[in-house]
Chains A and B, each alone.
Chain A
């Protein structure tokens, strides 16, 4: 099936949710409201003619000037029919949360953790939402557009001595006997 046909089907099935369909270089993006993202993804997986079984990628994008500041982008692929489609869920800044799709694709687990780590988007129902690439005690969300490239003003790495002091009594770093 052509990606545009899938977008039409989505529009029919979820008329309130689907906001916008764009086509650029034969790649189709469908912007949707965040509320029923699980249902939309479930539909895309379960429909025998679409069968988007492979989650290629999941990531966040930040548009500070927009009313709905964040986007979570799902790049989907069907191994059966060899077609791709992109779903973009729009998320407001004051409540940056969306339902997790880990129950649908186990592979979404770490991608969602990364989006949470980098953008501060909360995935409801995620089994283990912790920072993944940045240290656990990091403050701020590095991939947001308002986060400076070289870190916050006046930011300094902890000195080695301080770090050593910090971890001497840390159970997590020693083998429990």
Chain B
């Protein structure tokens, strides 16, 4: 607005009165709805142009890393729910994969498949919420309502699977909490039948929308070299054309047993990152379908009595199992090896890494969470500076952050 006034005045004759202009500091957030949580940005503006952008985080800091030093390995699973609360399943799985690598537990086949299905469902719910809010921020209201309709279906499936819609705590160290039945798999399969058609609906709403294209193309460009240098990961990195996907690089679960592709963008702008995520929907959908077709029967918990909790019915009927359960719950796994491990998994937002140092007691000596959102917020100034205020909103949306994970 100020820029318009300035240029408007410049066209007038010299004797017309001039309005003085100066830089404006704007504090955006932490309660601003478009900051996707409690992110505060201090923007120095010259007219509509952002001269400097300074993010402030920490409003949601709960000290998860400190808390985990005081809890045994089982008790940390619910904490990981609350990191990325949009796709808590992915956070749970990331933690469990790390601890299993530390304890050297081999998972049964069926548990691997269920986890892979669950992780991809989490990816779909996360991207649906991302698309909904990103489009809403830019001004497309309808997509928001459509996305939440589909998200609801998956959340209901999560509820039938684990008992909770959002903070699922479904995976366990050495497997998953309970088996899924054929009816559940059928319902999920029916959803995947329908879902590609829904995706086309979203795309007809925004893909050819001139406002959408003008607001996303050429905005927030980051080159591949810069993106790697900044440590960006996930779809945000792939939008710049780097095919780095941990599911492909260092496979876990059954990602090496199903066919799927890593979608990459070219220009590294908001639009390309949107396209990458839309393509990831289709890949996730396809992974789920293949997993449902291939899933074998069998147990869902590993056979590693030193590290995993005994089944509940055995605890209630057998003294030995009751004692084992008691010791594991109160003291944690006593035969944990000494060592340290960094395991990264590909969560919907990027590379979620758990760096766990074990000193042989039942609790981790130190647990570090490498959160993708934290890294992505750090890069916001680079994306925003030099652009317009309105594009700050598009940039916050495109890096797909959740502040619970950023602040930990």
Decide: A149 near B66, CB < 8 A? Known: A25-B339, A75-B370, A79-B244: yes
Interface flag for A40 (CB, 8 Å)? no
Q: Which residues of B sit under 8 angstroms from A114, Cβ to Cβ?
A: 374
Q: Are B231 and A133 in contact (CB under 8 A)?
A: no
| Interchain CA distance A176-B43 in the complex, whole Å | 12
CB-based contact B104/A135 at 8 Å:
no
Smallest Cβ distance from A62 to chain B, in angstroms?
8
> Contacts A107-B231, A133-B57, A143-B65 hold; do A56 and B341 have CB atoms under 8 A apart?
no
- A106 in contact with B230 given A79-B242, A142-B66, A143-B65 (CB within 8 Å): yes
Contact B366 A25 (CB under 8 A): no
Q: Is the CB of B231 within 8 A of A56?
A: yes
Say yes or no: A107-B378 contact (C-beta < 8 A), given A25-B102, A79-B244, A143-B66.
Answer: yes
B48, CB-defined interface residue at 8 Å? no
If A57-B342, A110-B375, A110-B378 touch, whether A175 touches B368 (CB-CB below 8 Å) is no
- Do the beta carbons of A142 and B353 come within 8 Å of each other? no
Residues of B within 8 A of A34 (CB): none
Which candidate, B24-32, B147-155, B180-188, is the interface stretch facing chain A? B24-32
B230 lies within 8 A of A107 (CB):
yes
In the complex, number of A-B residue pairs with CB atoms less than 8 Å apart: 97
Point out the residue from A24, A25, A73 that lies within 8 Å of B355, measured CB to CB: A73
CB distance from A126 to the nearest CB of B (A): 13
Please determine whether A56 and B344 come into contact, CB atoms closer than 8 angstroms: yes
Q: Is the CB of A24 within 8 A of B339?
A: yes
> In the complex, are the beta carbons of A56 and B370 less than 8 A apart?
yes
> Which residues of chain A are near B353, meaning CB under 8 Å?
56-57, 75
User: A132 contacts the other chain (Cβ, under 8 Å)?
Assistant: yes
Across the interface, do B229 and A27 meet the contact criterion of CB distance under 8 Å? no
Task: Please tell me if B340 contacts chain A, counting CB pairs below 8 Å.
Answer: yes
Flag A84-124 by CB within 8 Å of B: 1 or 0 each: 10100000000000000000011111100010001000000
List of A residues within 8 angstroms of B6 by Cβ: none
Cβ of A21 under 8 Å from chain B:
no
Q: Which residues of B contact A173 (CB under 8 A)?
A: 27
Query: How many angstroms between the C-alpha atoms of A79 and B229 in the bound complex?
Result: 11
Check B231–A55 contact: CB distance below 8 A.
Answer: yes
User: Are B101 and A25 in contact, CB atoms less than 8 angstroms apart?
Assistant: yes
Instruction: Report the minimum CB–CB distance from A81 to chain B (whole Å).
Output: 10
Which residue of the partner chain, among B58, B102, B342, contacts A75 with CB atoms under 8 Å? B342
Chain B residues with CB under 8 A of A110: 374-375, 377-378
Nearest neighbor of A117 in chain B, beta-carbon distance: B58
Given contacts A79-B242, A109-B378, A133-B57, contact A53 B26 (CB under 8 A): no
Nearest-CB distance from A9 to chain B (Å)?
20
Residues of B within 8 A of A107 (CB): 229-232, 375, 378-379
Cβ of A37 within 8 Å of any chain B Cβ, yes or no, is no
- Selected contact of B351 from candidates A56, A61, A105, CB within 8 Å: A56
Q: Does B250 contact A (CB under 8 A)?
A: yes
* A110–B379 alpha-carbon span in the complex (Å): 10
Interface membership of A67, Cβ < 8 A? no
Which of A62-87 touch B at CB < 8 Å? 62, 73, 75, 77, 79, 82, 84, 86
Question: B228 near A: Cβ within 8 Å?
Answer: yes
A82 CA / B249 CA spacing, docked (Å): 7
Could you give 16 example pairs across A and B, Cβ below 8 Å?
A24-B340, A24-B341, A56-B344, A56-B351, A75-B355, A105-B230, A106-B230, A107-B232, A107-B375, A110-B378, A132-B57, A133-B57, A135-B58, A143-B66, A175-B24, A175-B27
The interface of chain B, by Cβ under 8 A from chain A, is 24-27, 57-58, 61, 63, 65-67, 70, 101-102, 104, 226, 228-232, 242, 244, 249-250, 339-342, 344, 351, 353, 355, 357, 366, 368, 370, 374-375, 377-379, 407-408
